[in-house]
Chain A
Amino acid sequence: MSGTGEARPKRGKLLWTLFHSMLAISAFTFGGGFVIVSLMKKRFVDELKWLEEDEMLDMTAIAQASPGAIAVNASILVGRRVAGAAGIAVAVLGTILPPVAILGVISLAYEAFSANEWVQVLLKGMQAGAAAVVTDVTVSLGRRTAKARDPLNLTLMALAFVAVQFFRVSVVAVILVAALIGLLRALVERRAAR
């Protein structure tokens, strides 16, 4: 897979693990960007320990705020961090192969597919599973943030939640405003340090 051979003997294996991890995650991502990001967090942070939790959150913010598919954006970020340009290539390939293959097959006979009662039933069950994964990740992350006891961050967290949940403010707008507030905070802290 990679040409570095003996110099970095584990590189081929690393790329392979990255590829099949993204393939499996992408094949089971129902319900949008936060589902795939939650699955990636569980795989790359909790299981493989390739990334720190903070990095995964940073990458989530960047992936969400950038244009394009969140899954693809997140796989570019993780792929590059783990294995550079080759990492980007295998992670993106792993991410797009399942939807492309599945859609290719389904578009041949999509009426039969979407009307099939068993497909509906399986899907309904898997939706509940995806909801459980994101809830599980929310609980882990929420606990950690609460423990940090940073009053400004806790306030912003509450405000962001209310804005998105009750006022339907777009996720991108929330991220951009938060980045701006963070920037102001950095300026104030720098001034205070002088």
Chain B
Amino acid sequence: MNTLLSLFLNFMQFGLFGVGGGYAAIPLIRTIAVQQNGWLTEAVFTDLVAIAEMTPGPIGINAATFVGLRVGGLAGAACATLGCIAPSLVLVTLLSWLYARSRGSQAVQTVLRTLRAVIVALIASAAIALVRSAAWAGGRVDWAAALIFLAALALLRWKKLNPILVIAGCGLARALMHAAGVV
């Protein structure tokens, strides 16, 4: 099969079945890129996971771009990435339309109210996981990271600073600490 079409269709599979996002998606990417198509070796796949963790953006998009570039150059990257988002474009647009239409209904409001409470719990759980992975290293507290975290939280809560500036500032703060030999 044509490589570009194959990239599109395979990453469309990912866009269709990769529910839950993030790390839940890694095995599916491995199946597609390593086992079914032989586009990546296991070693390169491991590198891809490491790179995806270190760069911003959804892991599916990262993987699609990475694999697409290697297999089919820029056109390959475009096809794989488009394949990855195509199912979302159709399905989520449909859901968005349904949501806008039915939002006024009493029954839908009850369902949404229930969902919102659960989403708050899920965000809380994500916050804990993020704090742990940021400030906990090798079985002990990373005090520099904990300090940066607390300072960032204070700036966000009480100074209402722009969160993107805060995130970038945290990176710089850590770099300064590193340059000063603290961490």
Give me the interface of A with B, judged by CB distance under 8 Å. Answer: 24-35, 37-39, 42-43, 54, 57-73, 76-77, 80-81, 88, 92, 95-96, 98-100, 102-104, 106-107, 110-111, 113-114, 117-119, 121-139, 141-142, 145, 150, 152-154, 156-158, 160-161, 164-165, 170-172, 174-175, 178-179, 181-183, 185-187, 189-190
A28 close to B168 (CB less than 8 A):
yes
Interface on chain A toward B: helix, strand, loop, or mixed SS?
A: helix
A124 in complex: contacting residue of B97, B145, B169, CB < 8 Å: B145
A99 close to B145 (CB less than 8 A):
no
A69 close to B21 (CB less than 8 A):
yes
A128 close to B145 (CB less than 8 A):
yes
Q: Known pairs A66-B91, A103-B69, A161-B125. 20 more at Cβ < 8 A? A: A33-B22, A54-B112, A64-B119, A66-B92, A68-B84, A69-B18, A80-B100, A88-B89, A103-B55, A125-B173, A125-B174, A127-B145, A128-B135, A128-B146, A131-B131, A135-B149, A145-B117, A161-B121, A181-B114, A189-B110
> Which residues of chain A are near B107, meaning CB under 8 Å?
183, 186-187, 190
Give me the interface of B with A, judged by CB distance under 8 Å. Answer: 15-24, 47, 50-51, 54-62, 65-66, 69-70, 74, 77, 81, 84-85, 87-89, 91-93, 95-97, 99-100, 103, 106-108, 110-128, 130-131, 133-135, 142, 145-146, 148-150, 152-153, 156-157, 163-164, 166-175, 178, 183
B57 close to A102 (CB less than 8 A):
yes
A153 in complex: contacting residue of B117, B157, B183, CB < 8 Å: B117
Given contacts A107-B66, A107-B69, contact A133 B87 (CB under 8 A): no
B95 close to A62 (CB less than 8 A):
yes
Given the complex of chains A and B, what is the CA–CA distance between A156 and B110 in angstroms?
Answer: 14
Given the complex of chains A and B, what is the CA–CA distance between A61 and B31 in angstroms?
Answer: 27
A133 close to B91 (CB less than 8 A):
no
Interface on chain B toward A: helix, strand, loop, or mixed SS?
A: helix
A125 in complex: contacting residue of B59, B62, B97, B175, CB < 8 Å: B175
Given the complex of chains A and B, what is the CA–CA distance between A100 and B116 in angstroms?
Answer: 32
Q: Would you list 20 pairs from A and B whose C-beta atoms are within 8 A, ordered by A residue?
A: A29-B57, A34-B126, A34-B127, A61-B116, A66-B88, A66-B92, A96-B57, A100-B57, A102-B56, A103-B57, A107-B66, A107-B69, A125-B170, A131-B149, A153-B113, A171-B20, A172-B20, A174-B122, A179-B111, A185-B114
